[in-house]
Chains A and B, each alone.
Chain A
Amino acid sequence: DQQVKQNSPSLSVQEGRISILNCDYTNSMFDYFLWYKKYPAEGPTFLISISSIKDKNEDGRFTVFLNKSAKHLSLHIVPSQPGDSAVYFCAAREYGNKLVFGAGTILRVKS
């Protein structure tokens, strides 16, 4: 009963192109959605978030889109850089600031 799903275990993109990471959720009570980035042997670090009352949030090369009716969000990275290669976790917030994480997508940006 995974409430947050990242159906693509991995994604490979050429440097300079767009990376699109997808995430689906089932719980309509989530009020905030976040993306975390994780390098090997490090903890996840916060990347960008979006409130459930918005449909887009942009921060530099990173944009998160939220489609509430489809219970879907996506992270766009453009242009992709080799340093973006990492595992990206989608997370959704429910009560008590509890975050529910997806399984992660490994992004490889090839130069």
Chain B
Amino acid sequence: DTAVSQTPKYLVTQMGNDKSIKCEQNLGHDTMYWYKQDSKKFLKIMFSYNNKELIINETVPNRFSPKSPDKAHLNLHINSLELGDSAVYFCASSQDRTSRVGFGNTGELFFGEGSRLTVL
């Protein structure tokens, strides 16, 4: 019973295709995220959703569209894939009661195992 699970773990596809990565968490958390780990190994936030509402949307191409059907799921759909989209994509979740220090919100994220996307 994995806490944060994402599928598929590996995805190899051609340029121009459309693909989706799914994520589910069974921790009862309110907030879910997508992070991208690029070739330089930096983990960069792409999106975050709180109770199905978009909270963070970093400078990500419009080809990337997150969808949250409910607070336990956050899927990532990518249109017209490009070579530069090759990366490992991590889903994560957290329980955010409040953003104030000392009120139980330490920013701890629970990550999935990652989905390695290779665009040829």
Q: Is A43 in contact with B99, judged by CB distance below 8 angstroms? A: no
- Segment among A21-29, A59-67, A75-83, A89-97 that sits at the interface with chain B: A89-97
With A34-B107, A49-B106, A103-B41 given, is the CB distance from A97 to B101 under 8 Å?
A: no
Docked CA distance A27–B109 (Å): 20
Closest partner residue, chain B, to A104 (CB atom)? B41
Residues in B with CB closer than 8 Å to A34 are 106-108
Interface size on B, residues (CB 8 A): 29
- A32's partner among B35, B90, B101, B110 (CB-CB below 8 A) is B101
Docked CA distance A99–B101 (Å): 15
Residues in A with CB closer than 8 Å to B106 are 32, 34, 49, 51
Q: Mark A residues whose CB is within 8 Å of B.
A: 2, 31-32, 34, 36, 41-46, 49, 51-53, 87, 89, 91, 93, 95-104
